[in-house]
Amino acid sequence: MIKVFRSVNNKIHEVEKMAPKTWIKLSAPTADEIHEVISYLKLGRGNIATAISDPEEKTRVEATDSYVLIIIDIPVLKTHRRGEIYKTIPLTIILTHKNVVTICSEETPILNCFHENSVVHFLSHGEWQFVYQIMLQISFVYQQALTAIDKKRTAFDERIEKIKDEADLISLHELESSLVYFATSLRGNNSVFNKLARLEQLNRSKVSKELLDDILIENQQAIEMARIYRDILDGTRELMATIINSRLNHVMKRLTSITVILSVPTVISGMYGMNVDTQWMPLANTIHGFGMIGLITTIICIILVVFLKNKKML
């Protein structure tokens, strides 16, 4: 889907046709839509079309005389049958002398906030401030997503002693996977931002330089957050594994103790069930002999129960 926006008095308005000094936004574009935009920009279909259509494209910067191609990763929230999980997808930004073009494989709130006039002092007339504002917004969204992940991890910590279902372990693994995606993408984005900082010809104003400095600071903070939260999550996972192993050991001790207790009546009843002369079996011919044998067996079992409880085996 193609949408075109123009900034008038710091307010964004959607227009019908692509024109100079507009922002061209492509969300989940088709091949024909990509061809239409590239033809309008007169950039050729070579590497640009490949970069746009490849969902596994790596973060990078490509600067030429006619355009600058920037590919960075953005966080997205995916829904599946067990809940929600964060992943990252590439966002392509093409800056030409006439337009700013953004291409993403799906609709993202990171860009929606711009044409919904939620961003203060937003510019869309081809200047670098717009590109840097998008990048800064991406860094903020990463931090918000990392905070949401940490809140879920904190919820696990609060009920870790009550966790019994394997679904909780799977959810914890999904949080860890999200942090891995984020850490990898944030490092890739950081390389892009540093390269932009080295391209002095792109930093055309003081405002642009200040925005880029803010981007580097916020992105580095997100990298540190991802590292810290991942370390904490590793500790949570190890604690859960320890608790589960402790529970298993406790169950095994109880089962072993119960087996020992039940072996006493089993052995005694097995001895009296053998086909031998009763004169050699104690209490075999005694009045109330069965009750006396049962009482002795019960006393032995009670003694074993008390002994095992004192040893914390039951």
Q: Identify the pLDDT of residue 187.
A: 92
Q: Is the pLDDT of residue 126 over 50?
A: no
Mean pLDDT on 6-18: 77
Cβ atoms 67, 76 nearer than 8 A? no
pTM attached to this predicted model: 0.76
Mean pLDDT on 113-124: 59
| Percentage of the chain exceeding pLDDT 70 | 86
Mean pLDDT on 169-175: 79
Mean pLDDT on 22-30: 83
With vertex at residue 273, the alpha carbon angle to CA 267 and CA 277, rounded to the nearest 5 degrees, is 120
Mean pLDDT on 113-134: 66
| Percentage of the chain exceeding pLDDT 90 | 6
Residues 6+ apart with CB under 8 A from 121: 10
Q: Identify the pLDDT of residue 101.
A: 86
- What is the amino acid identity at position 262? L
Residues 4, 10, 11, 15: is their CA dihedral positive or negative? negative
pLDDT band at 224; cut points 50, 70, 90: very high
Question: Domain 2-246's class?
Answer: alpha beta
> Distance between CA atoms of 238 and 162, rounded to whole angstroms?
16
Residues 6+ apart with CB under 8 A from 26: 1, 2, 33, 34, 37, 101, 102, 103, 104
Q: Is the pLDDT of residue 48 over 80?
A: no
Domain ranges of the chain: 2-246, 275-310
Where do we find the tokens 């957050």?
Answer: 225
pLDDT band at 125; cut points 50, 70, 90: very low
Least trusted range by pLDDT, from 56-65, 175-184, 274-283, 290-299:
274-283
State the chain's mean pLDDT as an integer: 80
